[in-house]
Amino acid sequence: MPAERLQKIIAAAGVASRRKAEELITSGRVLVNGQPVTQLGSKADPEQDHIRVDGKLLRAPEHFSYIVLNKPKGYVTTVSDPENRPTVMDLVQGVKGRVYPVGRLDWASEGLLLLTNDGALANSLMKAASHVPKTYVVKVAGVPDEAKLDKLRRGVSIAEKGGRRVRTAPAQIKLIREGDNPWLEVIIIEGRNRQVRKMFEEVGHHVEKIRRVQYGSLSLDVPPGEYRSLTLEEVAKLKAAAAGQKPSFDKKKTFAAKSSTFQGSSFDKNHPHRPTRFQRPARKRG
């Protein structure tokens, strides 16, 4: 786990609020590896360092891994594939411990995919009752009129595996780039198989490209094929969202993630949200 600010570690351990944790630090009541730390902004690794508050050793967190991956097109979201197609697991081989995808993005879909070995969190996030919003940018064939968009916003009947039809929950949809094949932002609170594609097919428009740019409070911020570990704060926000608490969003990050879609899957390696003119080979990040 990457080093975190001490006050975040203390707050995540449930010892005190973030503000109270800052007071504990400045008053000399926090020791890291036996040494008092009084400067705010000091960092520690909760898995490697011994942190004591008022002499009490903080309980080390469970050894869970939380990964956010920018899935490129051409990978299936499974641990293994009987057809020997590339899977998202090929992209996270450097992760310590075995992680599993939370939900799915189909072979042709791109964008933010969460992987973890925290089964309780994964199950909570995948339950429809969690209502964790997922934001996509979608390019469709043809221009859907406002009546069709309103129909999608209210919910439409789509077919699930086996032929059973279900009605989708209300969705937020808005136009973000005009054209003969426009781009739209779609926010849903469910995660049914190929849901966004099926929704647009129901109103007569084929989805040409789709990228997930936000999952709860997480925004897409790594180049295609790369991943990073979540911070303690990000994990805490996901757990809160899974428990039904309303998440807060970083509108600047969301806009940047969406804007990168208009240049295909290219990212500048120094500025992940900035599109480059040519596609660069994806790199894995440990």
Is 106 among the residues known to form the active site?
Answer: yes
Q: Which of 122, 92, 70 is nearest to 238 (CA)?
A: 122
Instruction: Look up residue 75 and give its amino acid.
Output: Y
Q: Check: CB of residue 187 under 8 Å from CB of residue 171.
A: yes
Task: Give the sign of the dihedral formed by CA 32, CA 15, CA 229, CA 234.
Answer: negative
Between vectors from CA 279 to CA 274 and to CA 285, what angle results, nearest 5°?
Answer: 75
Q: Are strands 172-177 and 157-159 parallel, antiparallel or unpaired?
A: unpaired
Ramachandran area for residue 34 (φ above 0: left; ψ -120 to 50: alpha; else beta): left
Give me the count of residues in the chain. 286
Asked if residues 5 and 22 have their Cβ atoms less than 8 Å apart, the reply is no
Catalytic, out of 49, 81, 106, 268: 106
Q: What angle (nearest 5°) sits at the alpha carbon of residue 187, between those of residues 185 and 192?
A: 120
> Which residues carry out catalysis?
106
